[in-house]
Amino acid sequence: MEQYIEGLRQILDTGVDREGRNAVTRALFGMQMRFNMEDGFPAVTTKKLAFRSVKAELLGFLRGYDHIDQFQKLGTQIWNANAEAWGRDGYLGRIYGVQWRRWKTENGTIDQLGDVIKQIQTNPYSRRHVVSAWNAGELDEMALEPCHVLYQFFVADGKLSMQTYLRSCDMFLGVPFNIASYSLLLHMVAQVTGLTPSEFVLTLGDAHIYREHFEAVQTQLKRIPYPLSRLELNPQIKSIDAFKMQHIQLVDYQHHGTIHAPMIV
């Protein structure tokens, strides 16, 4: 996770302060991080990662959930603040998982992720293994416009890699969560397609630290990272829709203590 730590330091040292929609941030535009799964699972160690929430949110996306009650039943309240700010009694609208699994067309819906998994199995070297959450015609129907807007898979030598584009990057709270979530998705898709998870590439657009998080980031930068953990999936699961919370385990996860900071909605 050294890349992530260096990214924090670079933004604090050289970023530009700007007042945006919801707060003042210090930001840089255009960064990239690469994580080789052979090195271990990239769960941040300089603070505690809420991995149960990572699992729960991702499973909610895979099931196309659109209400906070559904996410809460899986064990996460991560969408509560956005739902409250949107003010529709817990309804979240056509957010990430809805777009991944039920993209609307005139003739019905498209299961983007399901179709891409089939493509990886039948035409692995296609350059069209793409899933998008950025549906410009439905942005006003979402509690939060997608921050991680698109991801693409790449197959080579029996290995599966993935790249995600993140347009808006809350470096302290959001990005460690995003790294873990998409690395988990990479492992899951690799397992159901019979491939080995290889590299996760995260491309960052507006990479920023909120002013309210400066002190927390400084605390994190003083800590020495631990070795990376490893991920274990139940090997009997062969369908992306069959995964449950108990099928996903983070093993040997060493971490420093939690650093509290407010979520800026």
The single residue of 147, 160, 175, 248 carrying the catalytic annotation is 147
The C-alpha angle 222, 38, 238, rounded to 5 degrees, equals: 120
Cβ-proximal residues to 111 (8 Å cutoff; 6+ apart), any chain: 100, 101, 102, 103
Tokens of 153: 């898979």
Told to judge if 147 belongs to the known catalytic residues of this protein, a careful annotator would answer yes
Half-sphere exposure of 41 (CA within 13 A, CB side): 27
Report the distance separating Cα 71 and Cα 86, nearest Å.
16
Q: Please identify every residue annotated as catalytic.
A: 147
